[in-house]
């Protein structure tokens, strides 16, 4: 379903490439650190991104872990400068792997943000069902979102992101509310593990899957953000009209999550082909032609009749030899 754009300014749907206080959608191709210098202090409410993991993807040059973290530290200082006092940073990372040794990037990044005075509010585990299969260790099926705030007074809206309660019929068993429903009619807090939620009375399952080949939002980007993952952060940590910024915007999923929910958006990426795709996707959103997996969509459950969900006949033959 197409959502009407938020139009606080007459040029909201115009996509600009250079910062100006009149711009409400900005998509810049270039170096993130240099571009951030053009943004005024305390300008954005939410910074959400998944930085390069330094694992040798086509858009990054692999360096030592120390050099990589130093480069990121310089960008982080600029991000903190442009963040509003009530603002948040959501830093989504996986693992850096070198010679089969895993370096958990969230642990390294925690120290960088803490050194700059930010406070960690949640270490969110995003669990997904599909990914590469490892041969020398267990297959990775999660990434981490570090949610930091600049101060102790910060934007947090729980109601827009509540999920179905597992036991909505629970009631208070004592006190002044004895016998009354103990839950919230809007649902429960989604907690800090973002994975499958089962609603018993509907027998449905929800999760936020990663963007693989059969995902409706899939583009050429190898590590693409699912829009609904960003949406939960946007809805909880900003209000309508606030600015959301992604310093490693890729194909623009963070920007789409922002404008889809009536926020303003700023994104930067050094890869021209990704910027081009991001601009196309934003325009497709406004024309109603963008394929989006809506937040809360039930995941597909195999019936057992599909060929791929059945045990291959060859395996039985091997067992009976």
Residue 207: give its domain's CATH number: 3.40.50.150
227-252 per-residue burial string, b: 16 or more CB within 10 A, e: under 16: bbbbbbbbbbbbeeebbbbbbbbbbb
Mean pLDDT value across residues 46-71: 77
285 and 256 in contact (C-beta within 8 Å)? Answer: yes
Mean pLDDT value across residues 217-227: 70
Its sign, for the CA torsion 110, 114, 116, 120, is positive
Query: Does residue 130 fall inside a structural domain?
Result: yes
- Beta carbons within 10 angstroms of residue 152's beta carbon: 8
Query: Angle formed by the axes of helices 227-237 and 253-260, to 10°?
Result: 50
The percent of residues in the chain predicted with pLDDT above 70, rounded, is 77
State the pLDDT confidence band at 89, using cuts at 50, 70 and 90.
very high
| pLDDT over 50 (residue 8) | no
Query: Does residue 196 fall inside a structural domain?
Result: yes
**Dihedral of the alpha carbons of 93, 28, 32, 252, in degrees to the nearest 10:** 0
- Comparing CA positions, the residue from 88, 65, 62, 74 lying closest to residue 245 is 88
Query: Does residue 8 fall inside a structural domain?
Result: no
pLDDT (0 to 100) of residue 4: 43
Mean pLDDT value across residues 280-285: 90
| Residue range(s) defining the domain that contains residue 187 | 25-319
- The whole-angstrom separation of Cα 44 and Cα 36 is 11
pLDDT (0 to 100) of residue 58: 57
Query: Does residue 3 fall inside a structural domain?
Result: no
pLDDT (0 to 100) of residue 213: 64
| pLDDT over 80 (residue 108) | yes
Mean pLDDT, the chain, rounded, equals 83
Query: Does residue 313 fall inside a structural domain?
Result: yes
State the pLDDT confidence band at 291, using cuts at 50, 70 and 90.
confident
Count up the domains in the chain and report the number: 1
Query: Does residue 293 fall inside a structural domain?
Result: yes
Query: Does residue 186 fall inside a structural domain?
Result: yes
| pLDDT over 90 (residue 37) | yes
pLDDT (0 to 100) of residue 203: 42
Query: Does residue 197 fall inside a structural domain?
Result: yes
270 token code pair? 């050094």
pLDDT (0 to 100) of residue 288: 84
């Amino acid at each position: 379903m197409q959502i009407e754009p938020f139009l606080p300014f007459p040029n909201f749907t115009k996509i600009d490439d250079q910062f100006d206080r009149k711009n409400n959608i900005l998509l810049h191709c270039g170096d993130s650190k240099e571009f951030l210098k053009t943004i005024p202090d305390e300008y954005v409410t939410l910074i959400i991104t998944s930085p390069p993991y330094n694992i040798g993807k086509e858009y990054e040059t692999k360096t030592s872990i120390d050099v990589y973290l130093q480069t990121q530290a310089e960008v982080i200082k600029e991000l903190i400068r442009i963040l509003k006092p009530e603002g948040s940073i959501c830093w989504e990372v996986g693992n850096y792997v070198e010679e089969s040794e895993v370096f958990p990037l969230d642990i390294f990044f925690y120290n960088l943000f803490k050194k700059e005075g930010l406070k960690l509010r949640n270490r969110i585990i995003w669990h997904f069902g599909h990914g590469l299969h490892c041969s020398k260790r267990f297959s990775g099926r999660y990434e981490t979102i570090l949610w930091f705030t600049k101060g102790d007074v910060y934007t947090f809206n729980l109601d827009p992101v509540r999920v179905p309660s597992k036991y909505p019929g629970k009631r208070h068993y004592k006190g002044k509310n004895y016998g009354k429903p103990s839950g919230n009619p809007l649902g429960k807090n989604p907690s800090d593990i973002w994975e499958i939620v089962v609603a018993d009375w509907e027998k449905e399952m929800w999760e936020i899957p990663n963007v693989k080949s059969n995902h409706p939002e899939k583009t050429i980007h190898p590590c693409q953000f699912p829009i609904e993952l960003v949406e939960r952060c946007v809805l909880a940590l900003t209000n309508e009209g606030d600015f959301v910024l992604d310093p490693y915007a890729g194909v623009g999923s963070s920007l789409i999550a922002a404008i889809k929910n009536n926020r303003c958006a700023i994104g930067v990426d050094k890869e021209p082909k990704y910027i081009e795709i991001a601009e196309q996707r934003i325009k497709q959103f406004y024309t109603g032609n963008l394929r989006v997996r809506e937040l809360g969509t039930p995941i597909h459950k195999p019936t057992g009749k599909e060929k791929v969900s059945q045990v291959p006949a060859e395996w039985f033959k091997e067992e009976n030899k």
